[in-house]
Amino acid sequence: MEALLAVLLFAISSSITPGPNNIMVMTSGVNFGVRKSIPLLLGICFGFVVMLITVGFGFGKLFEVFPALQLWIKFLGTVYLIYLSFLIACTRSDLQSDAQQRPLSFLNGALFQWVNAKAWVVAMGAIVAFTNSGVDYVYENIMVAAVFLAVGLPCVGVWLVFGVVLKKYLSNSIRQRYFNYTMAGLLLLSVAPVCLDIMTQLTSE
């Protein structure tokens, strides 16, 4: 019971705090509403669980054998996040934009987890902290994944609801444009620690 409570608290704190996933969901809520943003929300939550299970069943061992792989994942993820922030900044609020009618999909949200530096940190931290090698390893891994799925949907969903509520105050296209600029800036800010980590690893080699 204590272990379950610890996983629950960790899942809540890591899922509801600001990060690339939540920024994307909130921005989607502002620009596209709830219905069109639900696929992205589900893709993020289920995609992270798949990633968590994959890491738990040995994918993390690849980093021990091929240390450069982790650096490349961070680099590609950072480039993608920068590109994503550009898309958010350029999102138009008027109905004449074709791109405005195409929010990120379930697959986009699921695949995004593999280039999301925060997702990697949380996944590996959860597996290391809450699983032990032995006969109960499979059960513990699945338990951690189940907790994150149960917690992730409402925690990330809060950001979607917040975005929809905020949309009422952003009916003006100019305000919405500045909101998108702000969200793009926050997304870039979330990448900054990863950029510093990449630079540190490159200069230390």
Half-sphere exposure of residue 29: CA atoms within 13 angstroms, side-chain side: 24
Q: pLDDT tens, 131-144?
A: 776 667 788 888 99
pTM listed for this prediction: 0.74
Do the domain assignments include residue 59? yes
Identify the DSSP state of 57.
I
**Distant-in-sequence, close-in-space partners of 48: CB < 8 Å, separation ≥ 6:** 21, 113, 119, 122, 123, 148, 152
Token pair in block for residue 18:
């600001």
Phi-psi region of 91 (alpha: psi -120 to 50; beta: other; left: phi over 0): beta
Task: Select the more confidently predicted residue: 203 or 63.
Answer: 203
Q: pLDDT tens, 53-67?
A: 988 887 656 666 776
Do the domain assignments include residue 185? yes
Of 42-56, 104-118, 150-164, the one with minimum mean pLDDT is 104-118
CA 100/CA 67 separation, integer angstroms: 40
Residue 96 has pLDDT above 60, yes or no: no
Residue span of the structural domain in which 78 resides: 20-204
Highest mean pLDDT among 27-31, 37-41, 102-106: 37-41
134 touches 120 (CB < 8 A): no
**Distant-in-sequence, close-in-space partners of 165: CB < 8 Å, separation ≥ 6:** none
Do the domain assignments include residue 167? yes
Do the domain assignments include residue 101? yes
82 touches 188 (CB < 8 A): yes
Do the domain assignments include residue 10? no
Do the domain assignments include residue 91? yes
How many domains, in total, are found in the chain? 1
Do the domain assignments include residue 36? yes
Highest mean pLDDT among 10-14, 20-24, 48-52, 58-62: 48-52
Phi, psi of 134 (to 5 degrees): 145, -165
Q: pLDDT category, 156, cuts 50, 70, 90?
A: very high
